[in-house]
Amino acid sequence: MSALEVRDLSFAYGAREALRQVSFSLAPGRFAALLGPNGAGKSTLIALLTRLYDLQRGDIVVGECSLRTAPRPALRQLGVVFQQSTLDLDLSVEQNLRYHAALHGLARRQTGLRVDAELARQGLTERRGERVRELNGGHRRRVEIARALLHEPRLLLLDEASAGLDPASRLALNQHIRSLCHEQQISVLWTTHLLDEVHSGDDLLILHQGRLVASGQADALSLEHGGNLGAAFAHLTHSGASR
């Protein structure tokens, strides 16, 4: 069974086509990078996966649940970190998590246990009482990751999670998500426009102008282009590559 299956997904904002016949599947417990330049359609895909927008064409299946026919059980298996932060800066780290847990109907007792566990996993236990406004960008992202994992999803979606961070924090966050993925067997879909966030062992999806122009193992794709993933990316996303 796949962690996620996207089937023939197309989406348009009015007359503007943002995704065109996108299909792929993610294996459980894998780190998959969705790489694409600005405007490729990454955030639109995340918005469809999280049901921010209704599906127009195609289907999305999470685990065995279709977003069309079983949206609630499908969404329950998803955790998401959006491109724009949605934390309340004036609430503490813990308050942000508890607020989210309440929204999702977690029982009080369970909430306490889950908040403790996720704060520990993100290395934030000591900061639980601090207002989010006082945290740096990397730590704020970790709060969002803790929040996304509170209900123990099987698939974590991150939309340009490292944007705006300095290079060291960017690398640390990417590494952190990789260890979560490998140690806890959480499937990850990591979207980025930055090639250096893709590792050779990753599953790689390349999106360009709303089309999936490559999917497979990053190293296999790299081999097809003389061992140079940068060359592959440039070749697949130069403007002539779209049809």
The site for ligand ADP (CB under 6 A) is made up of 13, 16, 18, 36, 38-44
> Is 77 near Mg ion (CB under 5 A)?
no
13 binds, options Mg ion, ligand ADP, none, Cβ within 5 to 8 A by partner type: ligand ADP
Angle at CA 188, nearest 5°, toward 243 and 95? 120
Distance CA 78, CA 58 (A): 19
Identify which of residues 38 and 239 has a Cβ nearer to ligand ADP in the complex. Answer: 38
| 43 contacts Mg ion (rule: CB under 5 A) | yes
Residues in CB range of 31: below 8 A, 6 or more apart: 177, 178, 181, 182, 188, 190, 199, 202, 203
Nearer to Mg ion, 84 or 239 (CB): 84
Give start and end residues of each alpha helix (H) in the chain: 42-49, 71-76, 93-103, 108-121, 137-149, 167-184, 218-224, 229-237
CB of 102 to Mg ion, least distance (A): 29
Q: Which is nearer to ligand ADP, 44 or 162 (CB)?
A: 44
Residue 151 or 208: which CB sits closer to ligand ADP?
208
DSSP category for residue 243: -
Question: Amino acid letter at 20?
Answer: R
Using rule CB under 5 A, residue 162 touches Mg ion: no
Task: Give whichever of 13 and 226 is closer to ligand ADP, judged by the CB atom.
Answer: 13
**Length of the chain, in residues:** 243
* Residue 63 binding partner per list ligand ADP, Mg ion, none, with a CB distance cut-off of 5 to 8 Å that depends on partner kind: none
Residue 36's binding partner among ligand ADP, Mg ion, none (Cβ under 5 to 8 angstroms by kind) is: ligand ADP
Interaction of residue 237 with Mg ion, rule CB under 5 A: no
Q: Answer yes or no whether residue 44 interacts with Mg ion by CB under 5 A.
A: no
Residue holding tokens 């960008």? 137
| Alpha-carbon span 240 to 243, nearest angstrom | 8
Binding window for Mg ion (CB under 5 A); candidates: 78-86, 101-109, 129-137, 235-243: 78-86
Q: In sequence order, what are the residues at sequence separation of 6 or more whose Cβ sits closer than 8 angstroms to the Cβ of residue 6?
A: 22, 23, 24, 25, 45, 49, 58, 60
Residues that bind Mg ion (CB under 5 A): 42-43, 83
